[in-house]
């Protein structure tokens, strides 16, 4: 959708740069509806249509009755009727019956079309088996009613009589691709439809260019049109509106796409171009002209206040409707002006109106999530923005790596290094992290994983084996299609048979009802290759009966290989696997050291894979399985039959290719997959051949595929690897120090202007409460900025607040409200600023209790408290007082979902535990065991799982020399441990402090 800049009426004068003036004067006064005058040609067409309809509807039966008469026998035929001689008269009677049936069908089509055209409501009913007959009837009725009633649904030309009616009634994307598949026949049909759409788009672009005065770009404010009530037999329609205001009725599709699925004032939605109602509001393209258009409703004196409010409310829904574009949201004002720049459609570009922007929606109708808002990258890597499943896997793996580093640091596992804060990425690594946060679709990964495991569990419950799956398609609406190697019977509920017996389909609504299943991942070898229309293809590499070859330029092949390797290493729908990389320039091992291994060349690969192939064949034979799929549903499903996927980026020689083809001949049933790069020549033994082009297209002609390839170019690959390398807990003493990203002035003179309490219930001191409708969003945005003092990219903020995506103008409007709410410091500096990289930052006068907690702990352990015991004790005590509960304890349901990507949930308990341990040590040094116990108990309320706190509590309790109290604490620990028992270190400490503790356990047992 086009980008819009929103400015409220109160702030437009202060905008830094004014929008360009429209090419023609804007008429702000609504005028009465003007019905287009009919030309003489319209009357001629209507007359000819009437003559043809009269001849076909009345003339045909009259001629048949006069010339042939009644063709059927007058009585019941006897057996001798079958032995009569077949004469010319018999053939004439048969032909007459056929003509009567055709006439009846055509007459029914005429009646259906006349009813739909006169009523102006609903899509014309479809007469079974009518095909071209109904299209002909539609054109004749349209021409006849052109002089009186509208015919918005009668737009197909007579040249389309050769096409099926079903295809003409389907949406464009559905017509281009009914159900995703790898069969060439289906893709040929999709290609022919796409070509037709391209021709239509080209014609529309040429017409629009002519109407705009030689192809100049249309500039002007977004305009709105209100559907008028009927006048006599005239009913308003999108065709009429487009004809009056855009100069071409065929451009009604542009109006339809701008307003599709947006909520109208009466609560309903526009779903079909012919289903419009009086009073509905239509957003118009930027080059629309005409007196009845409304640009700024608050400046239109002849528009009622109710209509003004409806138009303004409709404008604000543009960021949330299904197509991801549209209206705007003002900065809290009731009426807004929406400047817009909308180029005409490119003549040679196929039209795919329902294709979502790249992002986290791929698994859902978000899809998208939080993805491409306006076609611009804002400096972030497009490859990661357009790969939602890959981004979700990388983001999840990076979070696990950082948590692991935190625990290693807390336990002093790496050279005594203590680092509470992970390193802050900079440069390309920071851009890559932002792109991961924006593009990730964790919901899509979760639904895919649960759907596949749920299918495996259902088949196991029915004692059925897993079918061989070649590919999976994730539609833009969230539906999942599995393409089977061969028919496998009826799928288990709630799965359904797709377009034929080789497709199983699961609707998103059914997938969301799945829960986590205790079963092995059935298809861990699925990996994303790219998108076609609004569907994402995942190829099952381990199921291919042979090699998969990838040809193209070396740099393009490397980007595909890196994407495949990164997703396989981090995806969320597999348990265990081995990924062997050969010929990769950059080492991807940091992404998943337990999964990825690099080999130097083909000889090492052949030696390794020959041995594994023999081992897998023997293991399958010994277990009595015919393939790894049957083994995955057996008793050893969690420990055996993990896939081994080989990515050979370097092109093998002809001799090596033959040896590899022999090795891969039986790989499909063994769970071994091979993806081999070639320079363009045929690869011996290749079951499937693909090609990556210089413009990012992934082609597989034999499979009928043309995808927008999922890529990970070298620059983005290195940035992602840097993120993982910096978070590696094994990096050594050069790792991050225990320095907070933002230190607060904790003296009396450092009192902040705005103070937010995040640890516990959310509370803000120093600001007036914002407007009730905006309060939740503003609080959430401020919390995100407070947790990232290094700065937040505007698109990261937008993806956090609107996971399903939002337009740029709505995001900017929120930022303006946030700036106004936070205000400025006494010196005039805004408290919400922007750094050199364009990221949003808070002023030092805006502080949270988490910032104060970190600063107090830092000063006590590495600052002033190092040289003064008294200062250290006071600072640690003040820090522990700030802890009132978990982070954002009372956050509303459905919000703050971005916290799942943060590591603050691991940082805060560790910080509290370290504070409690330091304060306990301070008190024990002075012989105050009770004070130490009090501090430890306070820390345990926030970090109850920290083993270090329990150990220190045991020591402090032992220091009181109260044996009964120590035994009670030991009993409490044993009760908390449950069936797992006490950790070994805790048992060893109890043996030292309370040697008789095991006697109590035995007595209790």
pLDDT band at 355 (very low <50, low <70, confident <90, very high): very low
* 124 contact partners, CB below 8 Å, separation of at least 6: 112, 113, 115, 116, 117, 134, 138, 153
Predicted TM-score (pTM) of the model is 0.61
pLDDT band at 331 (very low <50, low <70, confident <90, very high): very low
* 315 contact partners, CB below 8 Å, separation of at least 6: 222, 224, 283, 327, 328, 329, 336, 338
Beta-bridge partners for 689: 549
The reported pLDDT for the residue numbered 709 is: 94
Q: Give the C-alpha separation, 873 to 853, whole Å.
A: 14
Q: Are strands 480-484 and 644-648 parallel, antiparallel or unpaired?
A: unpaired
Give me the mean pLDDT over the 52-76 stretch. 75
- Residue 947, exposed/middle/buried by CB under 10 A (0-12, 13-18, 19+)? middle
Is residue 567 within 8 Å of 551, Cβ to Cβ? no
What is the per-residue pLDDT across 882-940, written as a single tens digit (0 to 9) for each?
Answer: 988 888 888 888 888 898 888 888 888 888 998 999 999 999 988 899 999 999 998 98
Give me the mean pLDDT over the 209-222 stretch. 44
Greatest mean pLDDT among 74-83, 526-535, 801-810, 902-911:
526-535
Q: Give the C-alpha separation, 152 to 234, whole Å.
A: 12
Is residue 538 within 8 Å of 526, Cβ to Cβ? yes
Give me the mean pLDDT over the 786-799 stretch. 92
Residue 609 phi/psi, 5° resolution? -75, -30
For residue 4 the two structure tokens come to 């819009």
Answer with the residue of higher pLDDT: 321 or 580.
580
The reported pLDDT for the residue numbered 3 is: 36
- Residue 884, exposed/middle/buried by CB under 10 A (0-12, 13-18, 19+)? middle
For residue 744 the two structure tokens come to 């607060």
Share of the chain above pLDDT 70, in %: 72
Helix (H) or strand (E) holding 807: none
The reported pLDDT for the residue numbered 731 is: 58
Q: Considering only CA atoms, which of 736, 731, 783 is closest in space to residue 757?
A: 783
The reported pLDDT for the residue numbered 159 is: 28
Answer with the residue of higher pLDDT: 426 or 235.
426
- DSSP, collapsed to helix, strand or coil, labels residue 51 as helix
What is the per-residue pLDDT across 96-123, written as a single tens digit (0 to 9) for each?
Answer: 888 888 888 888 888 887 776 665 444 4
Answer with the residue of higher pLDDT: 563 or 146.
563
User: CB atoms < 10 A from the CB of 110, how many?
Assistant: 22
Q: Examine the pLDDT at 773 and tell me if it is beyond 80.
A: no
- DSSP, collapsed to helix, strand or coil, labels residue 288 as coil
Upstream peptide bond of 86 is cis (omega within 30 degrees of 0): no
Q: Give the C-alpha separation, 795 to 434, whole Å.
A: 8
The reported pLDDT for the residue numbered 287 is: 83
The reported pLDDT for the residue numbered 147 is: 54
For residue 693 the two structure tokens come to 């082009």
The reported pLDDT for the residue numbered 234 is: 62
Q: Give the C-alpha separation, 1000 to 347, whole Å.
A: 84
- DSSP, collapsed to helix, strand or coil, labels residue 669 as helix
Q: Considering only CA atoms, which of 547, 549, 584 is closest in space to residue 569?
A: 584
* 946 contact partners, CB below 8 Å, separation of at least 6: 909, 910, 913, 939, 940
For residue 449 the two structure tokens come to 């994983």
The reported pLDDT for the residue numbered 182 is: 47
The reported pLDDT for the residue numbered 135 is: 76
The reported pLDDT for the residue numbered 274 is: 61
The reported pLDDT for the residue numbered 420 is: 55
What is the per-residue pLDDT across 223-237, written as a single tens digit (0 to 9) for each?
Answer: 888 888 766 546 678
Answer with the residue of higher pLDDT: 568 or 88.
568
Q: How many angstroms separate the Cα of 419 from the Cα of each of 405, 422, 794?
A: 9, 7, 29
Q: Give the C-alpha separation, 891 to 777, whole Å.
A: 12
DSSP E strands, 825-949? 832-834, 840-842, 846-848
- DSSP, collapsed to helix, strand or coil, labels residue 40 as helix
Is residue 589 within 8 Å of 598, Cβ to Cβ? yes
Q: Examine the pLDDT at 213 and tell me if it is beyond 90.
A: no
**Of 119-128, 129-138, 223-232, where does mean pLDDT reach its minimum?**
119-128
* 90 contact partners, CB below 8 Å, separation of at least 6: none
Answer with the residue of higher pLDDT: 904 or 410.
904
Q: How many angstroms separate the Cα of 220 from the Cα of each of 5, 25, 430?
A: 12, 9, 37
Average pLDDT, the chain: 75
Is residue 776 within 8 Å of 727, Cβ to Cβ? no
Give me the mean pLDDT over the 407-432 stretch. 66
Give me the mean pLDDT over the 667-694 stretch. 85
Q: Examine the pLDDT at 152 and tell me if it is beyond 70.
A: no
Q: Examine the pLDDT at 839 and tell me if it is beyond 70.
A: yes
The reported pLDDT for the residue numbered 210 is: 44
Share of the chain above pLDDT 90, in %: 23
Q: H helices within 268-387, ranges in order?
A: 305-316, 382-385
| DSSP assignment letter at 866 | G
Helix (H) or strand (E) holding 657: helix 654-664
For residue 123 the two structure tokens come to 């899509």
pLDDT band at 832 (very low <50, low <70, confident <90, very high): very high
* Angle subtended by helix axes 602-623 and 654-664, to nearest 10: 10
For residue 883 the two structure tokens come to 């802890």
Q: Give the C-alpha separation, 576 to 520, whole Å.
A: 9
Q: Examine the pLDDT at 968 and tell me if it is beyond 70.
A: yes
Q: H helices within 691-771, ranges in order?
A: 714-726
**Of 266-270, 345-349, 834-838, where does mean pLDDT reach its minimum?**
345-349
The reported pLDDT for the residue numbered 112 is: 80
Q: Examine the pLDDT at 181 and tell me if it is beyond 50.
A: no
Please give the angle made by the CA atoms of 240, 241 and 245, to the nearest 5 degrees. 120
Q: How many angstroms separate the Cα of 932 from the Cα of each of 517, 858, 950, 964?
A: 45, 20, 12, 18
What is the per-residue pLDDT across 719-760, written as a single tens digit (0 to 9) for each?
Answer: 999 999 888 766 544 444 556 778 888 877 778 999 999 998
Give me the mean pLDDT over the 317-339 stretch. 36
Q: Examine the pLDDT at 270 and tell me if it is beyond 70.
A: yes
pLDDT band at 634 (very low <50, low <70, confident <90, very high): low
CA 163: distance to chain centroid?
34
Q: Give the C-alpha separation, 350 to 198, whole Å.
A: 4
Q: Give the C-alpha separation, 405 to 401, whole Å.
A: 6
Q: Give the C-alpha separation, 450 to 478, whole Å.
A: 13
The reported pLDDT for the residue numbered 117 is: 67
Q: Give the C-alpha separation, 972 to 944, whole Å.
A: 13
pLDDT band at 531 (very low <50, low <70, confident <90, very high): very high
Is residue 330 within 8 Å of 336, Cβ to Cβ? yes
Give me the mean pLDDT over the 839-846 stretch. 93
What is the per-residue pLDDT across 377-390, written as a single tens digit (0 to 9) for each?
Answer: 456 888 999 999 99
Q: Give the C-alpha separation, 199 to 195, whole Å.
A: 6
Q: Considering only CA atoms, which of 496, 441, 279 is closest in space to residue 805?
A: 441
Q: H helices within 120-162, ranges in order?
A: 132-145
pLDDT band at 337 (very low <50, low <70, confident <90, very high): very low
Q: H helices within 474-524, ranges in order?
A: 508-511
DSSP E strands, 547-628? 547-552, 578-582, 596-599
The reported pLDDT for the residue numbered 231 is: 66
The reported pLDDT for the residue numbered 145 is: 67
Q: Examine the pLDDT at 818 and tell me if it is beyond 50.
A: yes
Is residue 149 within 8 Å of 142, Cβ to Cβ? no
* 281 contact partners, CB below 8 Å, separation of at least 6: 224, 225, 226, 227, 264, 265, 310, 311, 314
Q: Considering only CA atoms, which of 375, 435, 439 is closest in space to residue 4?
A: 375
- Residue 627, exposed/middle/buried by CB under 10 A (0-12, 13-18, 19+)? middle
Answer with the residue of higher pLDDT: 574 or 33.
574
């Amino acid at each position: 959708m086009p980008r819009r800049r929103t400015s409220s009426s109160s702030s437009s004068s202060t905008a830094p740069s004014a929008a360009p003036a429209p090419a023609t004067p804007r008429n702000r006064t609504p005028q009465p509806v003007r019905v287009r005058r009919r030309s003489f040609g319209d009357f001629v067409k209507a007359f000819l249509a009437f003559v043809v309809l009269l001849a076909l509807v009345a003339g045909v039966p009259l001629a048949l009755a006069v010339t042939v008469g009644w063709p059927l026998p007058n009585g019941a035929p006897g057996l001798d009727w079958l032995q009569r001689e077949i004469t010319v008269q018999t053939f004439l009677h048969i032909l007459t019956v056929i003509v009567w049936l055709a006439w009846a069908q055509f007459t029914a089509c005429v009646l259906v079309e006349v009813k739909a055209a006169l009523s102006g409501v609903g899509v014309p009913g479809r007469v079974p088996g009518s095909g071209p007959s109904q299209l002909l009837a539609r054109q004749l009725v349209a021409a006849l009613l052109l002089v009186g009633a509208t015919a918005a649904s009668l737009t197909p030309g007579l040249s389309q009589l050769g096409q099926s009616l079903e295809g003409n009634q389907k949406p464009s994307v559905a017509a281009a691709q009914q159900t995703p598949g790898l069969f060439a026949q289906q893709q040929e049909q999709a290609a022919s439809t796409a070509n037709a759409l391209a021709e239509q788009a080209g014609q529309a672009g040429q017409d629009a260019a002519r109407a705009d005065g030689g192809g100049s770009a249309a500039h002007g404010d977004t305009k709105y049109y209100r559907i008028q009530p009927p006048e006599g037999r005239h009913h308003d329609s999108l065709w009429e509106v487009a004809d009056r205001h855009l100069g071409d009725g065929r451009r009604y599709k542009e109006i339809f796409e701008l307003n599709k699925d947006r909520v109208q004032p009466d609560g309903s939605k526009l779903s079909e171009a012919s289903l419009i109602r009086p009073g509905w509001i239509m957003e118009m393209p930027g080059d629309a002209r005409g007196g009845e258009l409304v640009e700024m409703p608050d400046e239109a004196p002849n528009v009622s206040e109710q209509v003004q409010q409806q138009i303004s409310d409709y404008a604000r829904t543009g960021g949330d409707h299904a197509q991801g574009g549209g209206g705007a949201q003002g900065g809290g004002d009731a009426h807004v002006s929406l400047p817009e720049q909308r180029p005409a459609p490119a003549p040679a570009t196929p039209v795919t109106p329902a294709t979502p922007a790249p992002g986290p929606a791929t698994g859902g109708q978000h899809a998208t999530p939080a993805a491409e808002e306006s076609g611009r990258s804002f400096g972030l890597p497009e490859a990661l923005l357009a790969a939602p499943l890959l981004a979700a896997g990388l983001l999840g793996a990076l979070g696990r790596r950082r948590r692991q580093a935190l625990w290693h640091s807390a336990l002093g596992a790496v050279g005594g290094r203590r680092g509470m804060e992970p390193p802050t990425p900079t440069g390309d690594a920071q851009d890559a992290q932002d792109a991961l946060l924006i593009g990730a679709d964790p919901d899509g990964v979760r639904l895919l994983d649960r759907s596949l495991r749920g299918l495996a569990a259902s088949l196991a419950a029915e004692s059925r084996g897993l079918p061989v799956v070649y590919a999976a398609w994730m539609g833009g609406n969230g539906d999942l299609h599995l393409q089977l190697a061969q028919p496998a019977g009826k799928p288990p509920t709630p799965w359904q048979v797709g377009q034929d017996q080789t497709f199983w389909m699961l609707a998103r609504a059914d997938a969301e009802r799945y829960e986590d299943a205790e079963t092995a991942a059935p298809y861990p070898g699925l990996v994303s290759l790219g998108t076609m229309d609004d569907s994402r293809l995942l190829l099952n590499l381990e199921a291919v009966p042979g090699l998969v070859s990838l040809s193209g330029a070396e740099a393009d092949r490397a980007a595909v290989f890196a994407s495949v390797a990164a997703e396989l290493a981090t995806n969320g729908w597999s348990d265990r696997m081995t990924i062997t990389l050969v010929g990769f320039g950059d080492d991807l091992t940091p992404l998943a050291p337990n999964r990825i291994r690099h080999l130097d060349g083909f000889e090492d690969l052949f030696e390794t894979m020959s041995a594994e192939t023999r081992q897998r064949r023997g293991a399958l034979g010994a277990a009595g399985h015919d393939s790894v799929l049957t083994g995955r549903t057996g008793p050893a499903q969690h420990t055996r039959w993990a896939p081994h996927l080989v990515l050979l980026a370097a092109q093998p020689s002809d001799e090596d290719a033959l040896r590899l083809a022999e090795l891969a001949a039986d790989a499909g049933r063994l769970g071994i997959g091979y993806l081999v790069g070639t320079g363009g020549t045929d690869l011996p033994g290749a079951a499937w051949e693909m090609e990556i082009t210089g413009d990012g297209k992934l082609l597989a002609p034999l499979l009928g595929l043309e995808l927008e390839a999922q890529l990970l170019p070298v620059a983005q690959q290195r940035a992602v690897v840097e993120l993982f390398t910096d978070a590696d807990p094994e990096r050594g003493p050069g790792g991050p120090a225990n320095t907070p990203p933002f230190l607060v002035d904790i003296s009396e003179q450092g009192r902040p202007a705005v103070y937010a309490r995040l640890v516990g219930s959310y509370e803000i001191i120093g600001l007036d409460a914002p407007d009730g409708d905006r309060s939740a969003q503003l609080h959430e945005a401020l919390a995100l900025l407070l947790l990232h003092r290094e700065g937040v990219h505007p698109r990261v903020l937008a993806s956090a607040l609107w996971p399903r995506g939002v337009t740029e103008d709505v995001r900017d409007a929120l930022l303006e409200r946030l700036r106004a709410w936070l205000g400025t410091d006494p010196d005039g500096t805004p408290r919400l600023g922007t750094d050199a990289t364009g990221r949003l930052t808070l002023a030092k006068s805006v502080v949270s209790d988490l910032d104060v907690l970190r600063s107090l702990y830092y000063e006590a352990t590495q600052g002033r408290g190092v040289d003064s015991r008294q200062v250290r004790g006071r600072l640690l005590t003040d820090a522990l007082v700030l802890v009132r509960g978990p982070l954002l304890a009372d956050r509303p349901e459905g919000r703050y979902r971005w916290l799942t990507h943060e590591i603050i949930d691991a940082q805060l308990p560790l910080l509290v535990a370290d504070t409690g341990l330091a304060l306990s040590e301070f008190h024990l040094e002075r012989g105050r065991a009770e004070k130490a116990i009090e501090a430890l108990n306070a820390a345990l309320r926030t970090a109850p799982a920290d083993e270090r706190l329990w150990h220190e509590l045991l020591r402090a309790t032992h220091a009181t020399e109260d044996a009964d109290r120590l035994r009670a604490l030991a009993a409490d620990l044993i009760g908390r441990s449950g069936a797992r028992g006490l950790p070994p270190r805790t048992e060893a400490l109890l043996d030292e402090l309370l040697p008789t503790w095991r006697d109590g356990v035995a007595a209790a047992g």
